[in-house]
Structure 1
Amino acid sequence: MATTAVTFDRFGDVADLSLRTVETDLLDEHQVRIGIAVAGLNPVDWQVVESETLAAAFGISVPAGFGNDFAGVIVETGRSVSRWNVGDRVFGGARGAAVATSVVLDEKHRSLHRTPDGVDDLTAGVIDIAGRTASAVEAALAVREGETVLVAAAAGGVGSILTQLLVRAGARVIGTGSAASAEFIRSLGAEPVEYGPDLARQVRVAAVGPIAAAADLHGVETASTALELGVPAGRVVTIEAESPPAGVLPVNGSDARPGALTRLLDLVAEGGLTVPIAAVYDLDHFSEAVAHQRSRHARGKIAITTNTAS
């Protein structure tokens, strides 16, 4: 059997990504084959291509596939599989493999989940990394009702989910972004401020009171501003900082509590959470999707579809 997949043979440049037909092995007795309907992009996807060191940390060596987040349906099961049936809708993460028409995973793969009723493939297919990260950051911030929280990159994939979670928890959120993202950030329930050298002054004006906690979802500029504004280091969280300021809490998706994704998709099904989709590309235009994601200006998530999404 063959799959069409985005792959690369050397590290260093996302321009080396290519769409190829790849022959796949027969299933082992405990494996399942998933027909992928949607794959979601994250910064770590292209960072892995550019960094052999980061790739090694995830157990990826070349030649390799690309992407992590996916949603689709079980199309084949190994002879001893008991957890899944052909036709089951599933979602999750397949590191270095998801941007493809199919992927093979062990039936007990830790990032393979059943898609809840009431959730479409487009939403389920982009939530694995961003959802786990937003959930982990929310838990680390430990926000109490009525507190004011500063969120950097509030319009991004993680930020758009986190902002909604904090608002649901009763926090007042000040979200940083570009001027063009202001209305989108406001639609999430936050007060927008523009990032840049004037950030501290803007936050003081918008907050009209103390900032209790902060989440820097891109670098350390907002984390440093939060410390300048008097936020205790233990209530400042970063997710993409190689050298965060002393005392702040580095967090990533692996820190999410068990059941975090189920909770988020239950909220989606109930109408209590939206996972914003900035753009959808078909598989033949994956390079445009990658460029869009790498621009860091997407309002929400970038998705790639094989045109079989439900």
Structure 2
Amino acid sequence: MKAVSYRAYGGPEVLEYGDLPLPKVGPDSVLIKVRAAAVNPVDWKAREGYLDGMLQPVFPVVPGWDVSGVVVGLGADTPEYREGDEVIGYVREDLLSRGTFAEYVAAPVRTLAPKPAGLTFEEAAAIPLAGLTALQSLRAVRAAEGDTVLIHGASGGVGSMAVQLARRLGARVIGTASERNHDYLRALGAEPVTYGDGLVERVRALAPQGVDVVLDLVGGGAVTTSPAVTAHGARLVSIADPAVTELGGRVLWVRPDTADLAELGRLAAEGALKVEVAEVFPLEKTADAHRRSAEGHTRGKIVVTVS
């Protein structure tokens, strides 16, 4: 099969497009013919070695954890699926090895859910990691109706879904983003503020009593502003900055979850969760997709397609 892989840590230039063996399918896994795979910041961070202390690489590593595609092979015990089923998945192993930037991927059924009806494969591939991160982050801080939620990085792939899910809970949402994305956030139901110098004053102007919940989706010290903008007893979560624990919050590492993924798919199929695909690259241009993601200014998700 054709796949993108790397044999050593490094920049996007280490990514190779070529032939690799078909993955073996375990008893609780299915073989998926990949139609699209979304790019996430963790993909290029893993490629550059930032996760080496957490995940053991088995070179050559095929990057990518998000997928949408069609089931074409079944493991020995996979009654949940049949050949021809269209699925989405957050196919993360506890090591770096067999990812989704390939023509085929073997995926445990616990990482999968049905593809949402009415969405393209590109749109569907953009849901799993970002949607699960948003959903599980809001759950971790017990976001609820009446809360004021501050989301750092609200216009990105995770942030835009977190805005929508928080609004569905009945929360008020304040989201940080560059000014060019403010109208986009307003359309999602958030009150936008520009990040950078003066952020504390801008948030305080909108929420003089302080915010109840903080979601840090960008790192870079954003969480350190929290004591100046939060109400007493505020709940904090970060996907990017361990310093959140010093403020009484928690670091979240998103988990595969079939039920959560199915719920996100249902919302997307109903039009209650909108998916923004910023740009699409063919598989052989995955290195360019990684470069674009690393720039850090993408609204929505970058997706790679497999013909």
Both structures adopt the same fold (TM-score exceeding 0.5): yes
Q: 1:259: Cα distance to partner?
A: 1.5
1:87 aligns with 2:84: yes
User: Kindly, what percent of the aligned residue pairs are identical?
Assistant: 33
- The match for 2:15 is 17
1:118-164 per-residue CA deviation (whole Å, 9 max, x = no partner) reads 34322221222111110111112222323221110000111000001
- The match for 2:145 is 145
Q: Give 3-state SS (helix, strand or coil) of 1:286's partner.
A: helix
TM-score, scaled relative to structure 1: 0.89
Q: 1:262: Cα distance to partner?
A: 1.1
Q: Which residues of structure 2 form unaligned runs of 5+?
A: 93-97
* Structure-2 separation of matches of 1:23 and 1:210: 55
* Structure-1 separation of matches of 2:234 and 2:62: 38
1:232-281 per-residue CA deviation (whole Å, 9 max, x = no partner) reads 46511111113333312212212x77611111111111111112111111
1:269-304 per-residue CA deviation (whole Å, 9 max, x = no partner) reads 111111211111111221221111111111011111
- The match for 1:136 is 136
Q: 1:26: Cα distance to partner?
A: 6.4
Q: Which residues of structure 1 form unaligned runs of 5+?
A: none
Q: Give 3-state SS (helix, strand or coil) of 1:6's partner.
A: strand
- The match for 1:267 is 267
- The match for 1:203 is 203
1:70 aligns with 2:67: yes
Deviates more, 1:133-142 or 1:25-34: 25-34
- The match for 1:44 is 42
**Aligned Cα root-mean-square deviation (Å):** 2.3
Q: How many residues align?
A: 301
Q: Give 3-state SS (helix, strand or coil) of 2:237's partner.
A: strand
Q: Once superposed, which parts of structure 1, at least 4 consecutive aligned residues long, lie more than 6 Å away?
A: none
1:197-255 per-residue CA deviation (whole Å, 9 max, x = no partner) reads 2100111123354312111111163322221123346511111113333312212212x
Contact 1:130 1:253 in 2 (8 A): no
- The match for 1:291 is 291
TM-score, scaled relative to structure 2: 0.89
Deviates more, 1:73-82 or 1:137-146: 73-82
Q: 1:148 to 1:130 in 2, by over 3 A?
A: same
* Structure-2 separation of matches of 1:165 and 1:27: 34
Q: 1:224 to 1:12 in 2, by over 3 A?
A: same
